[in-house]
Amino acid sequence: MSRRMDIAKAYEKALFAADRVAVGKMFHDDIAYWVAGVPPIGGEWRGRERVLDALWNREPGLGAADWGYEDVWRDWYDAEQRVIVEIRERSWLKSASEDVLDQRTCVVMRFRGDQISEMRDYTDCHIYEEFVKRHRAELPKFRAK
């Protein structure tokens, strides 16, 4: 396993453990994080602190809510100056557990030295948009203000 792969997997482990300090150490100062789609589901964030804030505030995707989650599979690939991970995961609002988001995502992590300098998240935003239509009132990020 390459050093990049070790870092990419350590990043994911630290992210899932909510260890912001450890995640931040793996990011280059000028990291760019892009998620397919337009705000508020997709968008782009630049700079270590801004990317960390976006991740911790659940800015990409459907936001913070009372979610259930199942990790179905992850396939990791080592490439020149980057690591690619294909992900299949399922999630659901605990208040509507019969409506399961079956999401497939591909994330490309580009490296500069031993730090992640760019992440591109190719998620099917249409699946999220349709879910919002069905559950807007249950998703704090999408409730009318």
CA distance 41 to 36: 8
Q: Over the chain, what is the mean pLDDT? A: 96
Residues 136 and 143: beta-carbon distance below 8 Å: yes
Closest CA to 109 of 73, 78, 72: 78
pLDDT value at 9 more than 90 = yes
pLDDT digits (tens, 9 = 90+) for 17-69: 999 999 999 999 999 999 999 999 999 999 999 999 999 999 999 999 999 99
Q: Residue type for 102, please? A: D
Alpha helices by DSSP H, listed for the chain, are: 3-16, 20-26, 48-56, 125-135
Quickly count: other Cβ atoms within 10 Å of residue 106's Cβ: 15
Quickly count: other Cβ atoms within 10 Å of residue 15's Cβ: 15
Residue 61 burial (C-beta neighbours within 10 Å; 0-12, 13-18, 19+): buried
- Write out the residue range of the structural domain in which residue 26 sits: 3-142
pLDDT value at 106 more than 70 = yes
Closest CA to 29 of 115, 113, 141: 115
Residues 145 and 40: beta-carbon distance below 8 Å: no
- Domain count within the chain: 1
- Per-residue pLDDT at 143: 86
Confidence category of residue 145, pLDDT binned at 50, 70, 90: low
Mean pLDDT for 90-97 is 97
CATH number where 17 lies = 3.10.450.50
Mean pLDDT for 65-75 is 96
CA 120, 123, 129 angle in degrees (round to 5)? 135
Mean pLDDT for 93-98 is 96
- Per-residue pLDDT at 1: 82
